[in-house]
Amino acid sequence: MIELAAADVLTIVLTCVIAAVCVAAVTLALLRLMRRRSVRAQLMLVASAGVVAMAAGVVAISVEMYISPHDLTVLLVVIWVSLILGLATAWVVARAMRSSFGRLSASLDEVGRGGVITAAQGGSRELDELSVQLADASARVDAAKAELERLDSARRRFFAWISHDLRTPLTAVRALAESIEVGAADAPELFAGQVRVQVETMSRMVDDLFELSTLTSGAVQVQTQQVELLDVVSDAVADVAAAADRHGVRIVERGVGGHVLWADPHHLGRIIVNLLTNAIRHAPRGTEIVVSATEIERNRLVLGVLDHGTGVAVEDLDRMFDVGWREDAARTSPVDHDGVASGAGLGLSIARGLARAHGGEVFAEHTDEGFRMNVLLPFGGAPDLT
């Protein structure tokens, strides 16, 4: 074996580098010109560039070594065969990639039409990962679309319901005013009280709408301070005592005393009043509504409002907090037969929004004793509301 001198090795290396650089420069120029061509053509060009660069270096070195014409011919035949096989392999690979890109393009079209796709496998790892991400994105888009449709439907129902509930007291006020105008009222001064009731109903609904818009926009201001839970509950019970008497139910408390928590007393009172109003409306006459407080973990307690009514179906336990939701599709008047204001289906939505503004939550459940609305609240220290 003939040992090569350092100068010969350097010559071989420089020759290969020069040949490779020249071929790479030509390939890059061609790729630039072919940037709008198919991936198959570009891939075949890249595959050819490697064979051509190697061939150029080998031929140049062979010429420098003054090999025989016979050996040079054999070498060129080997290079041409390698080039053809390389192009054939590149064509097969490009065809497979084109098929994968075709499936990906079809998936994109399906997503564009709003469909849900499944992840396609069988391509390269990168394309498979991209297909999985696209399938996940299509599922999220479909879920968001369904949620948007649900919210839009709820919005339309809500505006229909609020229009109905506002129209009812307005109709009553108009009827009272017309009776006074035509002199049909024997004692017109007594109508003032009825008008005031209807106006208060509308005012309460407008206040609920304003508070709900504040909650949904995130503009609600919660001024927390240490409050005695029993004091807030007592005030709330006093606010609904008249309605409870008219409905024939009694409100009692169990274990509420002794709990001090950080809360906005006004907003917390509103939460409890709304839950008590809902309980009064649905509690059977002659039963008790139980307000209780239970510590469940460190810095957390549950304030429960239990009535002995049937509650709502299990599948509606969360939907009942949606704006404008009502279990009975038939519309009722804003004031029922015993004077408990039914509102426009906003009370529970407002209660949940205010609880979340405190870093808590409102949820409902069926128990052995009846139907209970629960408020999960932080206590014992200032909650983190950020």
- Among 219, 251, 276, the domain boundary falls at 219
Q: Are residues 173 and 53 in the same domain?
A: no
Q: Are residues 181 and 265 in the same domain?
A: no
Q: Are residues 281 and 366 in the same domain?
A: yes
pLDDT, residue 335, reads: 44
Domain assignment of residue 354, yes or no: yes
The phi and psi torsions of 377 (rounded to 5 degrees) equal -130, 145
Q: Which carries the bigger pLDDT value, residue 40 or residue 282?
A: 282
Q: Are residues 234 and 162 in the same domain?
A: no
Q: Are residues 192 and 228 in the same domain?
A: no
Q: What is the DSSP annotation of 219-260? A: ------EEEEHHHHHHHHHHHHHHHHHHHT-EEEEES-TT-E
Identify the three-state secondary structure at position 288.
strand
Domain assignment of residue 311, yes or no: yes
* Tokens describing residue 347: 């009370």
Q: Are residues 191 and 339 in the same domain?
A: no
Q: Are residues 212 and 351 in the same domain?
A: no
Q: Are residues 163 and 94 in the same domain?
A: no
pLDDT, residue 248, reads: 92
66-102 pLDDT tens trace: 667 777 777 778 777 877 777 777 777 767 766 776 7
Q: Are residues 266 and 371 in the same domain?
A: yes
pLDDT, residue 288, reads: 92
Structure confidence at residue 249 as a pLDDT band (50, 70, 90)? very high
Contact call for residues 320 and 327 (beta carbons, < 8 A): yes
315-372 pLDDT tens trace: 778 778 877 666 654 334 444 444 444 444 678 888 888 888 888 889 989 988 889 9
**Which residues neighbour 100 within 8 Å (Cβ) at sequence distance 6 or greater?**
120, 122, 123, 124, 127
Total number of domains in the chain = 3
Measured in whole angstroms, the distance separating CA 170 from the mean position of its chain's CA atoms is: 38
**CATH number of the domain bearing residue 331:** 3.30.565.10
Statement: residue 260 has pLDDT above 90? no
Structure confidence at residue 45 as a pLDDT band (50, 70, 90)? confident
Domain assignment of residue 333, yes or no: yes
Mean pLDDT of all residues in the chain?
77
Domain assignment of residue 118, yes or no: no
**Average of per-residue pLDDT across 293-310:** 86
What Rg do the C-alpha atoms of the chain give, in angstroms?
39
pLDDT, residue 305, reads: 93
pLDDT, residue 340, reads: 45
% of the chain exceeding 90 in pLDDT:
10
Q: Are residues 211 and 228 in the same domain?
A: no
Q: Are residues 366 and 302 in the same domain?
A: yes
Give all strands of the β-sheet with 300-307 in edge-to-edge order.
250-254, 288-297, 300-307, 371-378, 361-366
pLDDT, residue 349, reads: 83
Q: Are residues 155 and 292 in the same domain?
A: no
- Among 195, 219, 243, the domain boundary falls at 219
**Which residues neighbour 314 within 8 Å (Cβ) at sequence distance 6 or greater?**
366
Q: In which domain, by residue range, is 174 found?
A: 143-219
Structure confidence at residue 196 as a pLDDT band (50, 70, 90)? confident
**CATH number of the domain bearing residue 190:** 1.10.287.130
